[in-house]
Structure 1
Amino acid sequence: MRAELIEESLALAAERCADLTPLVYARLFAQQPQLEPLFCMDGNGQVRGEMLSQVIRAILDFVGERQYAATLIQSEAMNHAGYDVSPEVFGTFFGVVADTLREVLGEDWTAPIDEAWRGLLIELDYYVTHTNQFETARASGL
């Protein structure tokens, strides 16, 4: 059920907004202004767009088959540390995406969609803050 609600929210947002990228990054930079200088070379927004696209694909995999998303999230949390982006700050991006979707959907952001996203964000945060893949695989029974 959660997967369907997450997918529904993303589909509705796609119908209403041709490109979420400017909205997501405006919100991100408002919340985490120290991140904006990291995108100084991204003059046309392609890097931001690709990053958002990768995050959306990872979210869909995470709520679906989980073929790669958990490992990707852990790897990217560690990779971003090389840019002085802590896992806690890295993890805020998922919440920024959810908040942007909530804004775009307006009244169509229902209580069940909100609950689905809240649960997803909690679960994603675990993988962001626990980057040891052997440890999380063992804890999740893989």
Structure 2
Amino acid sequence: MRTEAAHAAAVEASLEIAAERGGDLSPRVYERLFERQPQMMALFWRDTTDAIKGEMLAKVFEAILDFIGERRYADHLIETEVVTHEGYDVPRNVFATFFGIVEEIVRETCGPDWTDAMAVAWRRVLADLDHYVAHPEPEAASISDD
């Protein structure tokens, strides 16, 4: 299920506006994450300079752009990261929470330039992302006994 071109353009436009207006969104994203998932704060005890948070959010933005575009790797990356992070005691639902928080912060940063088209596009993309978070086992990996 590929992202429609109009939805991809709307998400990309919202990210551009947020980048121009908000600069580094990682402090706001992680503040919101820790408000909603306070148990996650303990996992960042080594990140005293917030460099890890910033790098992780940058990778999330890159993955979202690939996910809405050519989808060369993002779907597989998300599936893999869900499983990898379970090893760090990060529940799957935190990923869904995280992507939703990114959308919220982008929306808030866009302010009056947030459009209905952006809202519709983000809802669709979040639903599509949620599929990969909830089902990180690649469907193509099943083996048949033909």
Q: Is TM more than 0.5 here?
A: yes
- How far apart, CA to CA, are the structure 2 residues paired with 1:10 and 1:90? 19
Amino acid at match of 2:39: Q
User: Are 2:76 and 1:71 equivalent residues in the alignment?
Assistant: yes
Q: TM-score with structure 2 length normalisation?
A: 0.90
Shift of 1:17: 1.2
Kept in 2, the 8 Å contact 1:130–1:136? The answer is no
Q: 2:63 aligns with which of 42, 58, 63?
A: 58
User: After TM superposition, which residue ranges in structure 1, 4 or more long, deviate above 3 angstroms?
Assistant: none
Deviation string 1:98-140 (CA, Å, 9 cap, x unpaired) is: 000111111111111000000000000000111111x1678xx
For structure 2, the residue ranges without an aligned partner over 5 or more in a row are: 1-5
Kept in 2, the 8 Å contact 1:13–1:104? The answer is yes
For structure 1, the residue ranges without an aligned partner over 5 or more in a row are: none
Amino acid at match of 1:36: M
Shift of 1:75: 0.4
Q: 1:2 aligns with which of 3, 7, 12?
A: 7
Deviation string 1:9-40 (CA, Å, 9 cap, x unpaired) is: 00000110121010111111111111011001
Q: 1:33: which partner in 2?
A: 38
% same residue: 50
Q: 1:128: which partner in 2?
A: 133
Q: For CA contacts below 8 A with separation 6 or more, give which structure has more relative contact order.
A: 2
What is the root-mean-square deviation of aligned Cα atoms in Å?
A: 1.2
Q: 2:3: which partner in 1?
A: none
User: Are 2:122 and 1:107 equivalent residues in the alignment?
Assistant: no
Count of equivalent residues: 137
Kept in 2, the 8 Å contact 1:80–1:90? The answer is no
Q: 2:92: which partner in 1?
A: 87
